[in-house]
Structure 1
Amino acid sequence: MATFFRRRREALWRVEQYRGQRSIEVHATQLDAHGVTKRSAQKRILAEWVEFLGESTTRITDLNLACRVPQDLLDATGGQPQLESLAVKWGPYTDLHALSSMKALRTLSLGGARAVTDLRPLATLGKLQTLVVDQPFALSNPEVIGQLQSLEYLAFGNGHLGSDRTLDVSDLEWIGQLPNLRTLHLPGTRLPAEQLATLAALPELVELRIPLRRAYRKTVFDLAPGNTAFADLAREYEGLEELRANWR
């Protein structure tokens, strides 16, 4: 969903490859591409990463779990409270309580968060500036994000290019509680058009990306004068309409 997570990190798939690096990309599952094809070896490597992350004191500040992430692997990251950046590719994880101890966390990406139901553990992350929550179809309380007053970048929705499933976001008031938000992406969502003015009232918002649905068009153009984010959206509508006219 967010390209800014594609940093240069050293890819590791065995614990013994860690030699004090601060920024790493861990492949603890889906190991066939690394030549580990035996099921027993794959289970052993995952167990080693769970133990290492959960019990070792390290210098890691930037961790990317670039693989399928089961719950025990995510839980193990709680043993790294010094993390400043954590990215999860995807997985069947449901519980985010391990993240609540990461008081230094500034960047968090929860990819493929289909099974997550509760964001309350994130409420303690007072330094968080960047948050991505992708495909949170089971989530019951997105309003918790409104407590993260330091957020400057938020991506929330279905950003998976291979999926056309729509995420219904019935209320935008929680986004309106983020005074420092500069960038807001809501891909693959269905929003209440009558609440789009809530987004226009965000004092620092300069970039807004939402699906260009016909139901939003009038409101977007009404809000565009004097609002950079909505003016850009209005130009996107105009560009899309020009393309459609040329196809006829």
Structure 2
Amino acid sequence: MKSENDTMKLNERQIEYGFNYYFKEERDKIKSVVELSEFNGEDKLSINCTQLDYWIEKHGKKEKDKKRILNEWCEFLKQNSTVFTELDFGTRMPQELFDAVCNQKHLKRLEIKWGAYKDISAIENLSNIELLHIGSGAGVVSVKPISKLKNIIALSIENFQKITNYDDLVELTTLESLSIEGDGMGPQYIKIDNINFISQMTQLRFFRLLTERLQSKDYSPIFHLKNLEYLTLSKNREVSKLHSELSKLPKLKWGLIKTKPEIYQK
């Protein structure tokens, strides 16, 4: 019979720091490109094909090359659907590029820094995705498509300004790591009705909730997460009241609740 540890997929470092933490030695192994012509058969790639004003000036290109470069990538991603297992996008992602990426049937990891995508329904096509970061999606109108990802083990979503209800995420029974945040740089806060859904996600090992305004002001559903090893929450009156109890969750060893108690006691 398999033990609980046998079923875990995220390693210790991914739980301690977050699956998408920037480790330079790891990121340096991933080739970064702008144009499709730079691609040489890699299955892991960092594509930065928008926000090209400086790049165009530096390389003596023309303004019209911006659209050409974007279009070439969109067509390639749509027509060659089994090429990539990992993709990272560090520049603004428009809707057409998001939809094109979602044709990649073998994709296991996808990280998007930010973009102007409203409709993320195409993400349902990424049936093999395990690690997913959707950064600063202020226009996103529904998280329902994410709930269809039956192999996902780590999810990070940022600045979903139009979403206040995350109940659909309960469907992600394979999820070990969940991060929901506003935009900490702004900061831009997101509003969330409640986190009652969390009480049903007892398999979670990592939970981070930051730059949010929790309308219910009730963080007690977190007490159901007996498998949590990492927990970071916003500093506010409600969290401060619960801090002592939260820090005693049986498996907790990382995250600000455990490692920086002084934050919540000030």
TM range (shorter): 0.7 to 0.9
Counterpart residue number, 1:151: 175
2:46 to 25, 37, 47: 25
Q: Distance in 1 between matches of 2:203 and 2:245?
A: 24
CA contact (8 A) 1:193 1:219 kept: no
1:39 to 63, 81, 87: 63
Q: Distance in 2 between matches of 1:234 and 1:145?
A: 25
Counterpart residue number, 2:144: 120
Q: Distance in 1 between matches of 2:236 and 2:213?
A: 9
Structure 2 gap segments, 5+ residues each: 1-16
Counterpart residue number, 1:72: 96
Q: Distance in 2 between matches of 1:99 and 1:73?
A: 12
Q: Kindly report which structure 2 residues correspond to 1:42-191, keeping only aligned pairs within 5 A, or say none.
A: 42-158=66-182, 160-191=183-214
Identical-pair percentage: 24
CA contact (8 A) 2:184 2:211 kept: no
Kindly indicate whether residue 32 of structure 2 is the aligned counterpart of residue 11 of structure 1. Answer: yes
Kindly indicate whether residue 217 of structure 2 is the aligned counterpart of residue 201 of structure 1. Answer: no
Give the secondary-structure state (helix, strand or coil) at the position aligned to 1:154: strand
Q: More deviation in 7-16 or 46-55?
A: 7-16
1:150-172 Cα shifts (integer Å, max 9, x gaps): 111111011x3421222222211
CA contact (8 A) 1:186 1:209 kept: yes
Give the secondary-structure state (helix, strand or coil) at the position aligned to 1:39: coil
Q: Distance in 2 between matches of 1:5 and 1:194?
A: 29
Q: Distance in 2 between matches of 1:92 and 1:2?
A: 25
Q: More deviation in 52-61 or 129-138?
A: 52-61
CA contact (8 A) 1:220 1:234 kept: no
1:27-66 Cα shifts (integer Å, max 9, x gaps): 1111234335532111111011110111114431001122
Pairwise CA distance, 1:240: 6.0
Pairwise CA distance, 1:187: 1.2
Q: Distance in 1 between matches of 2:176 and 2:257?
A: 19
Pairwise CA distance, 1:108: 0.7
1:163-185 Cα shifts (integer Å, max 9, x gaps): 12222222111122222211111
Pairwise CA distance, 1:224: 3.7
Q: Distance in 1 between matches of 2:216 and 2:162?
A: 22
After TM superposition, the score normalised by the length of structure 1 is: 0.87
Q: Distance in 1 between matches of 2:152 and 2:176?
A: 9
Give the secondary-structure state (helix, strand or coil) at the position aligned to 2:219: helix
| AA aligned opposite 1:4 | N
Structure 1 gap segments, 5+ residues each: none
Pairwise CA distance, 1:86: 0.8
Q: More deviation in 52-61 or 76-85?
A: 52-61
| AA aligned opposite 2:187 | D
1:104-124 Cα shifts (integer Å, max 9, x gaps): 100111001100011111122
Q: More deviation in 4-13 or 15-24?
A: 4-13
Give the secondary-structure state (helix, strand or coil) at the position aligned to 1:53: helix
